[in-house]
Amino acid sequence: MRNQFSVKCWLRYIEFKQGAPKPRLNQLYERALKLLPCSYKLWYRYLKARRAQVKHRCVTDPAYEDVNNCHERAFVFMHKMPRLWLDYCQFLMDQGRVTHTRRTFDRALRALPITQHSRIWPLYLRFLRSHPLPETAVRGYRRFLKLSPESAEEYIEYLKSSDRLDEAAQRLATVVNDERFVSKAGKSNYQLWHELCDLISQNPDKVQSLNVDAIIRGGLTRFTDQLGKLWCSLADYYIRSGHFEKARDVYEEAIRTVMTVRDFTQVFDSYAQFEESMIAAKMETASELGREEDDDVDLELRLARFEQLIGRRPLLLNSVLLRQNPHHVHEWHKRVALHQGRPREIINTYTEAVQTVDPFKATGKPHTLWVAFAKFYEDNGQLDDARIILEKATKVSFKQVDDLASVWCECGELELRHENYDQALRLLRKATALPARRAEYFDGSEPVQNRVYKSLKVWSMLADLEESLGTFQSTKAVYDRILDLRIATPQIVINYAMFLEEHKYFEESFKAYERGISLFKWPNVSDIWSTYLTKFIARYGGRKLERARDLFEQALDGCPPKHAKTLYLLYAQLEEEWGLARHAMAVYERATRAVEPAQQYDMFNIYIKRAAEIYGVTHTRGIYQKAIEVLSDEHAREMCLRFADMECRLGEIDRARAIYSFCSQICDPRTTGAFWQTWKDFEVRHGNEDTIREMLRIRRSVQATYNTQVNFMASQMLKVSGSATGTVSDLAPGQSGMDDMKLLEQRAEQLAAEAERDQPPRAQSKILFVRSDASREELAELAQQANPEEIELGEDEDEDEMDLEPNEVRLEQQSVPAAVFGSLKED
């Protein structure tokens, strides 16, 4: 405690005397240190002050030696203080005294404990790197790596910079082989390995202590995803070493072993560049030294080798893809195409392909290899060899039955191409014969040879051959066998029936249709029913009407709405031509209920047209009424217009007006202007003032019902917005800050103004949609002009009526007789 108090006193006293001359300050520090020689603070300040006193002097000044001696005296007591050692070493480095500095660093490392060496080494290493003394630096780095082996990368970089590449390669190889090494720079083991490969391959004359070939080949087994770069490094090593033939062997080995297109591209490009550079060097040498005959031969040889390399590229690339997947069928076909014009290579390729490709692992259709192999022999006139190939193919255990069926079909086509028709039939009959052990078509546990007898492809070809070459009985037996195996398609059934029909076996053909119908359900049976019914009607017409009706009823039982329209129209046509008209109308009636909603409108149109042709126009009223009830609003509106037009043409004006009134309930005045225009034209031609006023009243009530100011405005807003964003701001660009309700109100006013402009001028139509200032004479004149056939009732109105205001109209209600409405009036 007393010593601490004394140190503080001395420090405060010395600080107070800072303005004194430097010798005086040094004497004060010396007196203090004589009394307190173990005070770190006094020594630190004293040494710092002494260094500052000689900072700007020449390093040869004797004062530097005094300061050095002062540091040496301090280390008698302060040899465990790393800060003082660092300051002293830095002071010596500034003096440029290399040997003294190195020895001082060594003394510091010996004096300090091992835990504090990490503070000395950074400055020590910086000192070693600052002087061109590689041997000294190497020895220092070796000592440092014993303390910090994870800093090996720093040492390696120094070795590279000092051109000591052999030791750098050794150190880098040690680092790469150490699995526990963690790079301070964050490099992966592969990156370090790649650096090693570049180092040893680019400096073969300086790296002598390592087996470069073994190192790089070891990397080929470790880093299989970077084979291209490693192969190029190995070849580059031999090229720089001058072993060009060895480098060429390395390139050839590489392009025969790489597994990816990327690695192949790297190796091949490097190989081609090497050959090109060799040719260029040879030509340059020949131009400098003069051309000789041997040089010409050598140059021609190198050019031929380079051309051959470029020509082999597609084949070599195909080999890489096949090494990736030897069961890729398409690549084998491409390989055969690359050997075009070389029969021996083609045969060898096909042989290798069929032996290599596993049908269960194949990508593509493996049977095409066998077929193409046989086709090659056939094209070259070797039919026996082609038959042998196809016969072997029929014994291959394919994955899919369709592959074996294709092989059998190719066998038959081969014989047909050479007009061996009997042999073709025998082969296909052999293919479709029952095996000793039957199996289901999709039973994967059984070989395809036991399942091919159920292949429709083989049976279809056999049926075609039997029709062309066989007898009627043999062909019929084939089709019956197909139906018995239950592998037929609707087209097969139709073909069978047509075949029987061609041979005048009509009932047999109908039985074939029946058998086909029993095999399929809707919608697959649709074509069979359509063909069956068409052929039956064409054959018997009305002679077997009841049987035809039963067939139609059977076909329509369970028929989906999508396919019902065709059958109902065919059924109705039968009834119209051979049956009863009421039956035909009943069929049309059923059809309007059975078809899809999208087809109902067309069906009602057909129904109305046929009813009008058979029974007359008046019979269609009930059909129109039902159509209006069933159809959607859009189609119902169309039906109403047509219904009203028909009644108008029949002179039933009141009926037509009632229809218009009914239809108005589903017609929004804002969106269905065509309907209201049609009704207006109707009233102008056939109505009077009262009927026009009634139409306008109905229009206003309908408009109120549809709440036009909301619904129509919303729909118009969506149309105007265009972008379909659904925001009010889209309706008024540039007014995004305006209140949304204000925008809606402005838009409503704009739409109302547009509606007023859309109304026809008063001078043209004189139709008053609301109460106006028109006089009674004008209204009477309008009514007289609008309907010249109107009955005049006389002019004996009451005086009270004459005194009414011009814009007030008194309407008198009277009961209308029921006979006027006819069938429109409800019961």
pLDDT in the model for residue 510: 85
> Is 86 in contact with 123 (CB distance < 8 Å)?
yes
The CA angle 496-502-503, to the nearest 5 degrees, is 95
CA angle 528–604–542, rounded 5-degree value: 45
**What is the DSSP-derived secondary structure letter of residue 790?**
P
> Using an 8 Å Cβ cutoff, are 327 and 358 in contact?
yes
Please tell me whether residue 686 adopts helix, strand or coil conformation. Answer: helix
Closest CA to 32 of 63, 3, 53: 3
In a domain, 256, yes or no: no
Say which residue the tokens 């190719």 belong to: 410
What pLDDT does 665 receive?
82
Cis peptide leading into residue 435 (ω within 30°): no
Residue 482 has a pLDDT of: 85
pLDDT along the chain (827 residues), means of 10: 58 66 71 76 80 81 84 82 87 86 89 88 87 85 85 83 83 82 80 80 79 79 79 85 86 87 88 86 74 69 85 88 88 88 89 89 88 89 88 87 88 87 87 79 77 85 86 87 84 87 85 86 85 84 82 84 85 82 84 84 85 82 84 83 83 84 81 81 80 82 68 59 45 46 66 56 36 43 44 40 40 56 50
Burial annotation 452-473 (CB, 10 A radius, 16+ → b, else e) = bbbbbbbbbbbbebbbeebeee
> Is 455 contained in some domain?
no
Closest CA to 352 of 368, 337, 336, 338: 336
**How far apart, in whole angstroms, are the C-alpha atoms of residue 191 and residue 171?**
15
Residues 6+ apart with CB under 8 A from 429: 462
Quote the CA–CA distance of 279 and 300 in Å, as a whole number.
Answer: 9
Domain count, the chain: 1
Show contacts of 423-432: CB within 8 Å, 24+ apart: 424/465, 425/462, 425/465, 425/466, 425/469, 425/470, 428/458, 428/461, 428/462, 428/465, 429/462, 431/394, 431/405, 431/458, 431/462, 432/458, 432/459, 432/462, 432/481
Gap between the Cα atoms of 28 and 13, Å rounded: 9
pLDDT of residue 503: 82
Go through 307-333 and write b for each residue having 16 or more CB atoms within 10 A of its CB, e for each that does not. eebeeeeeebbbbbbbeeebbbbebbb
Q: Which residues contact 264 (CB under 8 A, 6 or more apart)?
A: 228, 255, 258, 316, 317, 320
DSSP codes, 488-508 = --HHHHHHHHHHHHHTT-HHH
Residue 345 lies in a domain: no
The whole-angstrom separation of Cα 112 and Cα 82 is: 7
**Eight-class DSSP state of 733:** T
DSSP tally for the chain: helices H, then strands E:
42, 0
Q: Global pTM?
A: 0.62
Contact 368, 333 (CB under 8 A): yes
Rounded Cα–Cα distance for residues 73 and 88 (Å)? 12
Range of the domain at 616: 521-631
For residue 609, is it within any domain? yes
Domain assignment present for 538:
yes
Burial of 807-818, coded b for 16+ CB within 10 Å and e otherwise, reads: eeeeeeeeeeee
The confidence score (pLDDT) of residue 646 equals 84
436 in Cβ contact with 453 (< 8 Å): no
- pLDDT at residue 8, as a whole number: 67
677 half-sphere exposure, CB direction, 13 A CA radius: 8
Name the E strands within 341-478: none
Tell me the two tokens of residue 209.
Answer: 């202590």
Instruction: Please give the backbone phi and psi of residue 200, each rounded to the nearest 5 degrees, phi first.
Output: -80, -25
Q: Which residues contact 445 (CB under 8 A, 6 or more apart)?
A: none
How many angstroms separate the CA atoms of 779 and 808, rounded?
12
CA trace torsion 548, 582, 593, 599 (10° rounding): 80
Strands (E), 169-221: none
In a domain? residue 572: yes
Residue type for position 277: S
Q: Give the per-residue pLDDT at 423.
A: 87
> Helix crossing, 62-78 with 40-53: angle to 10°?
170
Q: Strand, coil or helix: what is 291?
A: coil
| pLDDT for residue 130 | 87
Query: What H or E segment, with its residue span, contains residue 726?
Result: none
- What pLDDT is attached to residue 817? 59
Radius of gyration in angstroms for the set of CA atoms belonging to the chain, rounded to a whole number: 54
Report the CATH number that the domain containing residue 572 is assigned in CATH.
1.25.40
Sign of the dihedral defined by the CA atoms of residues 328, 333, 337, 343, in that order: positive
